[in-house]
């Protein structure tokens, strides 16, 4: 066999291996929680919660993004990170909650569109909202570019408070969910209960500072 033939055979084998790795369905795995994250307390997440309160906006955002960052490599590049966000209406105190997740991977663009998350009974499916991505720039053989997606999904406050209560009761299992791109790919992730408790405490503290809500409630109480 000539050197040219051997080289071509090796190149073909490498390309086949790359294609198999990037097109095969993902194997279901339980998400691993870094020990440092698992050891964090709710007070740490509460203290690190970021409050974005613009006086020209009617809503305030409270985020746990700075609580813990998932990174990779020597330079600690952010990698498949997630966090919680609460959006609070300053006028009424009503809050809505969401999970933000970044997804990085080699190969072709996947386009994650659905999430399944854990509840106390059965898993719940929810659509994903795309925040941003680099679908136009990532490609299979462009080594310098990794595919990137940032997605979000809504979660009920009651569900988060139920998880927080389990944490207080001494059940520190993380809240698990998985992102799906059709039937071909999935990415499993989790958020620890301490992060949920920390966010809820930050939200409750912020609401207590909305003193005008007490003034609005007083006439109703007197009328009753």
Q: What is the pLDDT along the chain (224 residues), one digit of tens a residue?
A: 554 444 444 444 433 443 444 444 444 455 789 999 999 999 999 999 999 999 999 999 999 999 998 877 776 677 899 999 999 999 999 999 999 999 999 888 999 999 999 998 999 999 999 999 999 888 766 556 789 999 999 999 999 999 999 856 665 789 999 999 998 899 999 999 999 999 999 999 999 999 877 666 555 555 55
Does residue 76 form part of some domain? Answer: yes
Provide the pLDDT for residue 219.
Answer: 59
* Per-residue model confidence (pLDDT) at position 44: 98
Look at residue 29 and tell me if it is in a domain: no
pLDDT of residue 162: 93
Q: How far is CA 9 from CA 2, 14, 35, 107, 140, in A?
A: 11, 9, 44, 22, 20
The whole-number pLDDT of residue 170 equals 61
- Residue 14 falls within a domain, yes or no? no
Element containing residue 148 per DSSP (H, E): strand 147-155
The pLDDT value recorded for residue 169 is: 63
Strand order from edge to edge, sheet including 50-52: 50-52, 59-63, 82-89, 95-105, 147-155, 129-133
27 part of a folded domain: no
Q: Do 38 and 190 touch, CB atoms closer than 8 A?
A: no
**Residue 62, domain member (yes or no):** yes
Total tally of structural domains belonging to the chain: 1
Reported pTM: 0.79
**Is residue 80 assigned to a domain?**
yes
Which residue intervals of 34-88 are DSSP H helices? 35-38, 42-48
Element (H or E) spanning 131, and its range?
Answer: strand 129-133
Give, in degrees to the nearest 5, the angle at Cα 78 between 72 and 82.
115
Residue 168 in any domain: the answer is yes
The set of long-range contacts for 65-68, using a CB threshold of 8 Å and a minimum separation of 24, is: 65/100, 67/40, 67/195, 67/198, 68/34, 68/36, 68/37, 68/40, 68/195
Identify whether 138 is part of a domain.
yes
DSSP state of 107: S
- Residues 181 and 112: their CA atoms lie apart, in Å, by 4
With beta carbons less than 8 A apart as the criterion, state whether 95 and 84 touch: no
φ/ψ (deg, to 5) at 127: -75, 150
Residue indicated by tokens 């609070």: 88
* Residue 104 belongs to domain spanning: 35-219
């Amino acid at each position: 066999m000539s050197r040219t033939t051997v080289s071509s055979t090796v190149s073909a084998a490498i390309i086949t291996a790359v294609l198999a790795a990037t097109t095969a369905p993902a194997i279901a795995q339980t998400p691993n929680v870094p020990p440092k994250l698992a050891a964090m307390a709710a007070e740490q997440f509460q203290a690190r919660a970021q409050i974005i309160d613009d006086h020209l906006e009617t809503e305030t955002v409270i985020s746990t993004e700075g609580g813990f960052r998932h990174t990779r490599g020597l330079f600690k590049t952010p990698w498949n990170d997630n966090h919680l966000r609460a959006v609070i209406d300053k006028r009424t105190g009503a809050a809505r909650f969401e999970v933000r997740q970044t997804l990085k991977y080699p190969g072709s663009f996947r386009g994650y569109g659905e999430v399944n998350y854990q509840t106390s009974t059965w898993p719940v499916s929810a659509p994903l909202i795309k925040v941003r991505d680099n679908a136009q720039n990532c490609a299979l053989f462009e080594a310098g570019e990794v595919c990137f997606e940032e997605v979000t999904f809504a979660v009920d406050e009651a569900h988060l408070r139920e998880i927080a209560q389990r944490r207080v009761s001494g059940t520190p299992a993380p809240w698990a969910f998985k992102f799906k791109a059709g039937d071909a790919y999935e990415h499993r992730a989790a958020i620890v209960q301490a992060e949920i408790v920390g966010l809820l405490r930050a939200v409750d503290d912020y609401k207590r500072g909305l003193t005008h809500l007490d003034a609005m409630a007083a006439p109703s109480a007197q009328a009753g």
